[in-house]
């Protein structure tokens, strides 16, 4: 019986499919040339080939099969196959669903503030379309805070996604604000309001944590300083009764007779979450961490010795630091590791996007690996630099 020969994959076709994929997301030929390491003339020829093969229509509608799209993305993320294979091996070892990975070019490995910011903008421009694609399968989306997420939201606004969810997505802030915030647009509440307008096309205000401090300073929780134990409990009760906080996280309702609310907190309904991570504190100039260090009487060196990173401002401890960090983490007023872990676990079982973690740079490899191992993430949106560092850290 004669066997059919498998069609040989033409490298030019894969290149043209990669170009088609980027064009469909609104990228210029100059940006595409940089991403693929080609001349603009070569990109132009590959775009013409994609149109000729009907992979790309003049309306810039992507017309690739799932397999062709996969090959195009692999061309854009050389080396990501190694990370995917290791994540699949890790999932088999724990009998869990493997973490999804999407890798993008951030334009280098600069770590100085200006260079890193340029990398974030480039990364966000490439990753925003995939973030919108993932969110299409969500219903209730928690959002943390930070510069990385701010760049992604700005890129989403610029790209103007064509789709609108059948039922509006419910965006939920997961962290309060700094007591002295110079970058209020990086806050969870600001990001939620902008995502609501961009993806739902609506201007009615979503829930807010703008009146909630992100954390309560240690001096209010140290016995013998400022407040008695009873006053500390009253302070915590006040925070949990701020309307936005109470609707999102629940808790005791203050009144003549304190009682539990019968309404299920939104954090328990959250099927997806968009977050970044923090780490490498000795080189960080993040205002949230500066305020946290001041409120806890810690130095950057102290924090580096205690924590390998954080997610939503909740610290992940190094060995022998769990007890001290647990005390510090209790003073956060936002989503906890248990909330994040529950979202990731339920999403894996219900085919929701779950926890979408976005980060760039090899300096984040340790904290991202920890998040993967602790079941705190379902999808990674990362750059080449971080992808390679993660692949090198994971066994297999």
Retrieve residue 395's tokens: 């066994």
* Model confidence, pTM: 0.80
For residue 161, pLDDT beyond 70? no
Tens of pLDDT, residues 318-360 = 988 888 888 889 889 999 999 999 999 999 888 889 999 999 9
Annotation: CATH topology of 77-393? Rossmann fold (3.40.50)
* pLDDT in the model for residue 75: 67
Please give the Cα distance from 344 to 131 (Å, whole number). 16
Please give the Cα distance from 35 to 76 (Å, whole number). 7
Please give the Cα distance from 211 to 207 (Å, whole number). 11
pLDDT category at 262 given cuts 50, 70, 90 is low
* pLDDT in the model for residue 223: 54
* pLDDT in the model for residue 46: 92
User: In this structure, which CATH number among 1.10.3470, 1.10.10, 1.10.3450, 3.10.110 belongs to the domain 1-71?
Assistant: 1.10.10
Q: Are 111 and 100 in contact (CB under 8 A)?
A: no
Q: Are 184 and 150 in contact (CB under 8 A)?
A: no
Average pLDDT over residues 140-169: 86
Tens of pLDDT, residues 18-46 = 999 888 887 888 889 888 888 988 998 99
* Domain locations along the chain: 1-71, 77-393
């Amino acid at each position: 019986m004669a066997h059919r020969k498998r069609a040989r994959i033409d490298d030019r076709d894969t290149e043209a499919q990669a170009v088609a994929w980027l064009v469909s997301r609104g990228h210029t030929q100059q940006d595409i040339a940089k991403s693929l390491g080609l001349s603009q003339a070569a990109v132009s020829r590959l775009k013409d080939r994609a149109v000729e093969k009907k992979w790309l229509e003049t309306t810039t509608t992507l017309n690739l099969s799932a397999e062709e799209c996969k090959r195009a993305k692999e061309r854009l993320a050389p080396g990501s196959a190694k990370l995917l294979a290791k994540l699949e091996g890790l999932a088999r070892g724990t009998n869990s669903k493997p973490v999804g990975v999407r890798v993008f070019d951030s334009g280098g490995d600069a770590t100085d503030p200006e260079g890193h910011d340029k990398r974030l903008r480039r990364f966000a421009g490439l990753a925003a379309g995939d973030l919108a694609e993932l969110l299409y399968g969500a219903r209730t989306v928690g959002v943390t805070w930070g510069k990385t997420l701010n760049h992604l939201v700005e890129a989403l606004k610029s790209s103007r996604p064509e789709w609108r969810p059948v039922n509006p997505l419910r965006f939920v802030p997961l962290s309060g604000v700094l007591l002295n915030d110079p970058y209020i647009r990086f806050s969870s509440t600001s990001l939620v309001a902008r995502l609501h307008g961009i993806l739902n096309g609506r201007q009615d205000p979503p829930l807010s944590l703008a009146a909630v401090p992100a954390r309560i300073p240690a001096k209010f929780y140290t016995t013998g300083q400022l407040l008695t134990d009873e006053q500390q409990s009253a302070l915590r009760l006040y925070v949990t009764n701020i309307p936005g906080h109470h609707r999102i996280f629940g808790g005791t309702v203050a009144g003549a007779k304190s009682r539990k609310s019968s309404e299920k907190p939104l954090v328990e309904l959250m099927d997806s979450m968009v977050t970044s991570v923090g780490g490498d504190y000795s080189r960080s100039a993040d205002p949230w961490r500066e305020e946290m260090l001041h409120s806890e009487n810690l130095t950057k060196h102290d924090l580096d010795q205690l924590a390998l990173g954080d997610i939503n401002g909740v610290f992940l401890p190094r060995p022998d630091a769990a007890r001290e960090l647990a005390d510090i983490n209790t003073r956060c007023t936002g989503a906890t590791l248990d909330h994040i872990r529950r979202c990731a676990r339920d999403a894996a079982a219900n085919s929701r996007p779950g926890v979408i973690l976005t980060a760039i740079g090899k300096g984040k490899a340790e904290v991202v690996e920890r998040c993967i191992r602790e079941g705190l993430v379902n999808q990674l949106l990362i750059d080449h630099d971080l992808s390679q560092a993660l692949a090198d850290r994971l066994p297999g």
